[in-house]
Structure 1
Amino acid sequence: MTSSAPADITRTIPFWLIFAASALGGMTNSASTPIIPVYVEEVLGGGTDVSGVLISLAAVASMIAMPIAGMLGDKHGYRPIAVAGSILATAAMAMFALLPMLWGASLARVLFGLGNAAAMTLIMAWLVAMAAPAHRGKALSIYGLSVWIGVALGPQLGAAVNEAAGAMSVFLVCALLEFATTVLIMLLPKPVKPASARPPSTTTKPIPLPPGGMSALWAAFRAVWVPGVVAATAWCGEGLMLGFLIIHLGAAGIPASGVLSAASIFGVFAASVILARIALATLPDRVGPLRATAVSLVALTAGLVTLGIAPTFWVAAVGAALIGIGFSPLYPSLTMLATRELRPQNRALGLGIFSSFTSIGYGGGALIGGLVLTVASSMWAFLLVAGLQLVALAVVTIFTKDPSPRTQVGKDEPRDPAA
């Protein structure tokens, strides 16, 4: 950072431009994804298996785009790569309406996954570059709320537009949202990268990463694979919810839109994440990231089971609240576990690979939902994903060493990059 940079960027216009861009990007995803099963059935004439594959395509593309976007951004600058990604995502949303065919929808989902993930990855890196190390945790915590605002508002918007004008109109509205994201990114000032800081003091020896090439990728993967597997399993639940919750609750007689509707459950979920984040902000530091991860996975399991068997809106709301409580400390805890074995000069690469695991899980949840619904009720999809959380708990417990419950994160390390 330069000496003229403000100590607390949360009081600056560029921070709130980044916040708004992230919220709009999240709204685009959460408004369009739940409509895909409706689009597939009404426009393409397909079933839930096709819906699951289409939803998962964007997640697979995101998994590839995140680390690549980070490397390209480091080489060519954040702005051109982020703008290109956002424009690509805008075009992808328009393709759904302009090419109402299976191949067009498939291509659109891949392009959306590539573009949206690239843009969101780089605006988070932009924020990290702008924030002073002493205030970075605060900036990232506030920034993380933008994602959940998008998750809360997007499904409501998508359901309302779908009822008023049909699925094709939802994608056109999402194209406008993504274009607005592009404009906000173009208004951002050029980021200034902070000087590399010392590696944080941890209880484990950092894995040194070579400057580039396959050896760097492999070393980063070794450092983050355990928390990455847990992240993939947890985000499998979010992928299942976003893709099939409205259909699942509709089978129980809960309407798709309205105040006490399936779409409103996403608002309950997002609100519980925000409130729990405030209440549990210090949990990973107080009990350690491993124990906080265990608490999160237990809450996720309980929430997914509750959603799976929910007969009414209020029971579903309890399940969504439990899932929100579980997600709140999970990403900070997993990030602490992942970054403690990475050196600062290569931490972006490691975080990019770690973040790609969330896309694997997101796509896996959609795929599981689509496949299970072809042979059984959606309840079994939620129960299956709930069981996977217990498998993740076993993996992180067996393969993670956490001798000190109060493992600290270094001052220069992102504590919560938009969980």
Structure 2
Amino acid sequence: MGRTSVAALWVAVFCGYVALGATIQVLPGYVTGALGGTLTAAGLAVGIAFAATALTRPVAGWLADGAHSRPVVATGGVLTALGGAGHLLATTIPEILLARVVMGAGEAALFSAALPWVLSSIPADRKGAMAGWFGLSMWGGLAVGPVVGSAISDATGSARSVWWTVTALGIVSLIFAVSVRAGQTPSPARPSFTLRGLLPWGASAPGAVFGLSAYGYGAINAIIVLYLANLRSGASHYVLGVFAAAFLITRFFGSPLVTRWGGKRVWGAMLAVETVGLAIIAIPSAGVVGIVAGTALAAVGVSLMFPATVAVTLDRAGPKAPGTSVAVMASFWDLGLMVAGPLSGAVASRFDYPSAFALAAAVSFAALLASAAVRSTAKHEVHQPATHESGGRQ
């Protein structure tokens, strides 16, 4: 695959995830305001999209490993646009939840089919590095999206203008996806379309760590804006922008650490930073400055979790299909976000916002403990070191 094709797929995925990120900024206030929902409903609206993403990723990755990436990526663009249109049309909580499910499925199809398409033409010793770079299309979009959503909402005073933008971004994503004509070679080790085949051994353990690390990110997405708004602070308009800046800067300059230290060591460092950041937000007397600083620290902690987990996953999966393995690993992240949204909202409603972030800090610490128990290489590689692929290192 040529650089132009890779760049087009990168833009297609980026546009889709900017769309998703833009909804995250506006959605909680829209649900509790215009739709008259509760904090729990707002958290559910954020989280349910990731439930759809988690269920769709393994299937999209499996289809991509069979050289069917192009139609799957294009379908992702269509579903993203339809999800945006659903936000425009929704007037009740169930309707907005349906729109979120459609959008979540679209995001999964975009990334989980595009990544194997790109990796199919990459040598084994470069797959990990390419996966980390291409992953910026998703993570960059999620980081930039809330900033875009906030800017549009502030400029127009209307959530509907954000929904129109989201719909347009889905269409742009589709255009870039169908512009790619590059061929794709099926993975020689694609698993069968069975539960076992869709849940490869090498992906589950690192995926679980990744999923636990997602909880704090999900809590921030779901309730940090509402928390600051409750304090009547103008920081509610830019806190996710601070998160995005800290995330992208750390990801850009810190990615070489995955190659230098290895995925497991990066896990430990990043999870410790995330835990500290969330714990600061959980301090009732932290104040606005403390909340924003804690959010930035949490962003630093989350930023390198994806490339580090890809490195560990590809190490453990060995010759198995990279698309399915990475897609399953990423599904655990979606599950973490799915749980974090409604649970954080429920805890904040029942107790208070600091309690919700105290729980998030505890989950992040649990991820740190779990990461120490994960083996960085697959069982078969321990006995057959000659077959070890360095593609898992970034």
- Please give the range of the TM-score, normalised by the shorter of the 2 chains: 0.7 to 0.9
How far 1:183 moved relative to its partner?
A: 0.8
C-alpha separation between the residues in 1 aligned to 2:12 and 2:388?
Answer: 27
Q: Do 2:45 and 2:97's aligned partners in 1 also have CA atoms closer than 8 Å?
A: yes
Choose from 173, 192, 195 the match for 1:214. Answer: 195
C-alpha separation between the residues in 1 aligned to 2:117 and 2:16?
Answer: 15
TM-score by length of 1: 0.83
State the partner residue of 1:123.
Answer: 114
User: Where does 1:60-99 land on structure 2 (aligned, <5 Å)?
Assistant: 60-75=51-66, 77-99=68-90
Q: Would you say 1:13 and 2:8 are equivalent positions?
A: no
C-alpha separation between the residues in 1 aligned to 2:105 and 2:247?
Answer: 26
Q: Would you say 1:365 and 2:343 are equivalent positions?
A: no
C-alpha separation between the residues in 1 aligned to 2:67 and 2:261?
Answer: 41
State the partner residue of 1:266.
Answer: 240
Choose from 140, 143, 147 the match for 1:149. Answer: 140
State the partner residue of 1:166.
Answer: 158
**Structure with more of its chain in helix, by fraction:** 2
How far 1:137 moved relative to its partner?
A: 4.7
Deviations 1:113-161 (A, max 9, x none): 1112111211222222244555545544433333343234321222233
AA at the equivalent of 2:170: E
AA at the equivalent of 2:171: F
How far 1:278 moved relative to its partner?
A: 4.2
Deviations 1:10-50 (A, max 9, x none): xx322222222222112111110232222212222111111
Per mean C-alpha deviation after superposition, the further-off stretch among 161-170 and 112-121 is 161-170
State the partner residue of 1:258.
Answer: none
| Paired positions, count | 385
C-alpha separation between the residues in 2 aligned to 1:337 and 1:148?
Answer: 18
AA at the equivalent of 2:336: G
Q: Which runs of 5+ in 1 are unaligned?
A: 197-207, 256-260
Q: Do 1:290 and 1:402's aligned partners in 2 also have CA atoms closer than 8 Å?
A: no
C-alpha separation between the residues in 1 aligned to 2:388 and 2:167?
Answer: 39
C-alpha separation between the residues in 2 aligned to 1:301 and 1:122?
Answer: 32
Deviations 1:60-79 (A, max 9, x none): 11111001112233447211
User: Where does 1:20-419 land on structure 2 (aligned, <5 Å)?
Assistant: 20-75=11-66, 77-133=68-124, 135-163=126-154, 164-193=156-185, 211-218=192-199, 220=200, 222-255=201-234, 261-309=235-283, 311=286, 314-400=289-375, 410-413=389-392
How far 1:250 moved relative to its partner?
A: 1.8
Q: Do 1:228 and 1:358's aligned partners in 2 also have CA atoms closer than 8 Å?
A: yes
How far 1:319 moved relative to its partner?
A: 1.9
C-alpha separation between the residues in 2 aligned to 1:28 and 1:56?
Answer: 15
Q: Do 2:348 and 2:356's aligned partners in 1 also have CA atoms closer than 8 Å?
A: yes
C-alpha separation between the residues in 2 aligned to 1:118 and 1:395?
Answer: 29
How far 1:194 moved relative to its partner?
A: 7.6
Q: Do 1:89 and 1:178's aligned partners in 2 also have CA atoms closer than 8 Å?
A: yes
AA at the equivalent of 1:216: G
How far 1:96 moved relative to its partner?
A: 1.7
Report the secondary structure of 2:372's partner residue. Answer: helix
Report the secondary structure of 2:240's partner residue. Answer: helix
Q: Do 1:30 and 1:242's aligned partners in 2 also have CA atoms closer than 8 Å?
A: no
Specify whether residues 84 and 305 from structure 1 end up closer, same or farther in structure 2 by C-alpha distance, changes over 3 A only. same
Q: Do 1:243 and 1:366's aligned partners in 2 also have CA atoms closer than 8 Å?
A: yes
AA at the equivalent of 2:198: L
Deviations 1:231-250 (A, max 9, x none): 11111111111222211122
Per mean C-alpha deviation after superposition, the further-off stretch among 273-282 and 100-109 is 273-282
Specify whether residues 49 and 347 from structure 1 end up closer, same or farther in structure 2 by C-alpha distance, changes over 3 A only. same
How far 1:401 moved relative to its partner?
A: 6.6
Specify whether residues 194 and 271 from structure 1 end up closer, same or farther in structure 2 by C-alpha distance, changes over 3 A only. farther
C-alpha separation between the residues in 2 aligned to 1:249 and 1:308?
Answer: 13
Identity %: 23
Q: Which runs of 5+ in 2 are unaligned?
A: 379-384
How far 1:399 moved relative to its partner?
A: 4.8
C-alpha separation between the residues in 2 aligned to 1:311 and 1:135?
Answer: 44
Specify whether residues 223 and 138 from structure 1 end up closer, same or farther in structure 2 by C-alpha distance, changes over 3 A only. closer
Q: Do 1:268 and 1:321's aligned partners in 2 also have CA atoms closer than 8 Å?
A: yes
Report the secondary structure of 1:193's partner residue. Answer: coil
AA at the equivalent of 1:41: T
Report the secondary structure of 1:44's partner residue. Answer: coil
Q: Do 2:64 and 2:117's aligned partners in 1 also have CA atoms closer than 8 Å?
A: no
Specify whether residues 312 and 187 from structure 1 end up closer, same or farther in structure 2 by C-alpha distance, changes over 3 A only. farther
Specify whether residues 409 and 373 from structure 1 end up closer, same or farther in structure 2 by C-alpha distance, changes over 3 A only. farther
Report the secondary structure of 2:304's partner residue. Answer: helix
Q: CA RMSD in A?
A: 2.8
TM-score by length of 2: 0.88
AA at the equivalent of 2:303: S
C-alpha separation between the residues in 1 aligned to 2:250 and 2:267?
Answer: 14
Specify whether residues 90 and 190 from structure 1 end up closer, same or farther in structure 2 by C-alpha distance, changes over 3 A only. same
Q: Do 2:64 and 2:323's aligned partners in 1 also have CA atoms closer than 8 Å?
A: no
Specify whether residues 126 and 57 from structure 1 end up closer, same or farther in structure 2 by C-alpha distance, changes over 3 A only. same
C-alpha separation between the residues in 2 aligned to 1:179 and 1:26?
Answer: 13
